[in-house]
Amino acid sequence: MGSNNAGTASATTSMNGQPDGGDLGGSPPHSAAANNHLASHHSTTSQLTSATSMFSDSRLVNIEEESKLVYGVVRTLRNLVNKLSGNQDGFISYRTSNYKLHYYETQTGLKFVINTDPSTESLRPVLRQIYTNFFVEYVVKNPLAPVGHPGGEGVNNEYFKAAVDKFVKNLSFFDS
Amino acid sequence: MIYSLYIISKAGGLMYQKDFNEGLAHLTANEYLVFAGTFHGVHAITSKISPVRNSTSSGLEVLEADSFKLYCFQTLTGTKFLIIADPTHANIDLVLRRTYDVYSDYVMKNPFYTPEMPIRSELFDVNIVKLIKQVGG
C-alpha cells in the first residue's frame, strides 16, 4: 500500500508552542488537522493510494487497517446520504467528539478524505484544491504513472507528497 | 425544520421512526430497518478510527450533507436517538435530550413495554409530535 508517514516529526514539532491562530479558538492543540487520507477507488474495489499522517503515533489502529475502515465508513455513509437525499455528491462531513472527517468525491469516483479536529469548518474546498492543484498536476499528468495506480504506485510520488504536505501545513487552521 | 426521528436500540434494531416534514426521499419499511442497522455499524466503527489517541471517543455525532444534517445522541445505555433536520436548524442537541425525556416518561415507564421492541404507544406519539411542533418542526 502506498502509505507513508512523511513529515511526521517536523509536523509534530512545528505545531507545538505556536500562538493560537485565532479563528478556531478553543480546540485542543493536539488535534488540529490531524491526518489526511487520500483514498481512491476504481470500480468496486477499495484501494488506498495515498495516506499522509502528520501525527502518526497517535492512532488507535495501524494505518492499513484504518484505511480499510475509513473506506468502508465513507462509502456506506455516502450511499446512505444519497439514498436519503436522492442526489449524488451529498455527503460532506461527519464529526465525533474527537475528530471531524471531511469528504470530497470527484466526478471520476476518486474519494478524498481529510481528518481534522471537530471545530474546523468544512474543508471540501481544500480537498478540491488538493485534487485539482496537486493530484491532477503530479499524478494524472505523469505519463509514467500506471493505470489505476495499483498499490498506490504513481500517487506515491515525491512531488505530490511534498506539495500536499506543504499545502496542508500552510493552511491557516493547521496548528491553531 | 425537522425531517424525521429515529430511535435505534443498543443492538441496532429500529425501535421507532417518524417523519415530520417532507423533503427527504421516502424509504420502504424494510429500507428503514436497513438504514438503522447500517448506521449502528458505522457509528461503532467511527469511534474506532479516531486519529487522536483518546480512550473516551464517541461515535458519529453530526453528519453533514448538502440537503440535511443528521444528529445522533447515544444514551449511556446504548440507545441512539437520531434526528434528521434542515442544515440551518439550530439547537438540535436540546431537542434530542428532550426526546429522550419523552421516551423515558412514556416508553420506559410503561409497564407493558418490552425493552428493545418497536415502540407502539399512542401517548409517546402524541408527545413527540407536540415536542417537535414546539421547537419549530
In this structure, how many other beta carbons lie within 10 angstroms of the beta carbon of residue A142?
Answer: 14
Whether the CA torsion A106, A95, A116, A24 is positive or negative: it is positive
In this prediction the ipTM stands at 0.91
- Name the one residue in this structure whose C-alpha cell is 470527484: A106
**Domain span at A117:** 32-157
pLDDT of residue A157: 86
The Cα A78–Cα A85 span in angstroms is 10
Q: What secondary structure letter does DSSP report for A130?
A: I
Q: Where are the domains of chain B?
A: 2-134
pLDDT of residue A163: 94
CB pairs under 8 A between A and B: 109
pLDDT surpassing 80 at residue B72: yes
H, E, C per residue of B34-94: HHHHHHHHHHHHHHHCCCCCCCCCCCCCEEEECCCEEEEEECCCCCEEEEEECCCCCCHHH
CATH number for A81: 3.30.450.70
Structure-block grid coordinates of residue A118: 471537530
Pick B49's closest partner by Cβ from A69, A87, A90: A69
Name every chain A residue with its beta carbon within 8 A of the beta carbon of B41: 76
Q: How does the average pLDDT of chain A come out, rounded?
A: 74
Chain centroid to CA A21: how far?
Answer: 21
Q: Count how many domains chain A has.
A: 1
CATH 3.30.450.70 for the B2-134 domain, yes or no: yes
| pTM passes above 0.90 | no
Cβ pair A82, B63 in contact under 8 A: no
Is A97 inside any structural domain? yes
The candidate with the shortest Cα–Cα distance to A61, out of A70, A49, A52, A48, is A70
What are B76-103's pLDDT values in tens digits? Answer: 999 999 999 999 998 999 999 999 999 9
Q: What is the mean pLDDT of residues B58-62?
A: 92
Task: Report chain B residues touching chain A, CB-CB < 8 A.
Answer: 24-25, 27, 31, 35, 38-39, 41-42, 45-54, 56-68, 84
pLDDT of residue A151: 78
What are A105-164's pLDDT values in tens digits? Answer: 999 889 999 999 999 999 999 999 999 999 999 998 988 888 878 877 878 889 999 999
Is A148 inside any structural domain? yes
Q: Are B46 and A73 in contact (CB < 8 Å)?
A: yes
pLDDT surpassing 50 at residue A16: no
pLDDT of residue B56: 73
